[in-house]
């Protein structure tokens, strides 16, 4: 298997969230390691959270499993049932179809680094649980549409 030169992979810092919801991920960057290796059945991201940043809004996936493995730092895993501290060497898994909104928040004064691994379903619905409008994102034939409200209304 070819070695991936992580230093050459551009870090992505943007988000597809509507502007009014984008600030939660300020300080988050992702390097798409799976894409760099030509993988198409699952994704692998090397993700960094600066102090105060979150991985995403709390969400869950209808069709895609997710897995994270902490490499550096300390983050809070926030789920429907409460919060759990995750440190380097810890892991968490999220089964597709389980309606447990989750995300990581860096409340420490140091950077957090973790691997994020997930399935790549061709069709998917990602539901965001903390937003008053219950934002969703829909993927059809492998392409994500812009986020919309639960009733289908566009932002």
* Residue 9 located in a structural domain: no
Query: What was the pLDDT predicted at 116?
Result: 98
Q: Is residue 1 part of a domain?
A: no
Whole-prediction pTM value?
0.91
Q: Is residue 54 part of a domain?
A: yes
Q: 50 lies in a domain?
A: yes
In terms of residue numbers, what domain contains 65? 14-123
Average pLDDT over residues 43-58: 97
pLDDT average, residue stretch 115-123: 95
With respect to residue 85, please indicate whether it lies within any of the assigned structural domains: yes
Q: With respect to residue 148, please indicate whether it lies within any of the assigned structural domains.
A: no
Tell me whether residue 94 is in a domain: yes
- Strand arrangement of the beta sheet that strand 42-49 belongs to: 28-32, 42-49, 112-119, 66-72, 91-94
- Number of structural domains, the chain? 1
- Of all residues in the chain, the percent with pLDDT exceeding 70 is 97
CATH number of the domain at 102, please. 2.60.120.10
For residue 128, give the 3-state DSSP assignment.
strand
Answer whether residue 1 shows pLDDT above 70: no
Q: How confident is the model at residue 129 (pLDDT cuts 50, 70, 90)?
A: confident
Q: Is 22 or 93 the better-scoring residue by pLDDT?
A: 93
Q: Which two tokens stand for residue 17?
A: 């969230």
Helix (H) or strand (E) holding 44: strand 42-49
Query: Is residue 149, in this structure, part of any structural domain at all?
Result: no
77-108 pLDDT, tens digit per residue, is 999 999 999 999 999 999 999 999 999 999 99
Q: What does the pLDDT read at residue 119?
A: 95
């Amino acid at each position: 298997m070819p070695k991936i030169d992580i230093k050459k992979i551009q870090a992505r810092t943007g988000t597809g969230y509507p502007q009014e919801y984008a600030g939660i991920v300020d300080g988050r960057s992702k390097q798409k390691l799976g894409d760099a290796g030509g993988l198409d059945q699952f994704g692998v991201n090397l993700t960094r959270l600066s102090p105060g940043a979150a991985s995403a809004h709390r969400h869950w996936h209808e069709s895609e499993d997710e897995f994270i493995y902490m490499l550096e730092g300390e983050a809070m895993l926030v789920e429907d049932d409460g919060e759990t501290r995750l440190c380097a060497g810890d892991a968490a898994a999220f089964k597709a179809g389980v309606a447990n909104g989750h995300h990581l928040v860096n409340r420490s004064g140091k950077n957090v680094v973790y691997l994020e691994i997930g399935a790549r379903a061709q069709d998917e619905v990602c539901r965001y649980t903390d937003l008053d409008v219950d934002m969703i994102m829909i993927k059809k034939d492998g392409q994500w549409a812009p986020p919309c409200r639960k009733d289908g209304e566009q932002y």
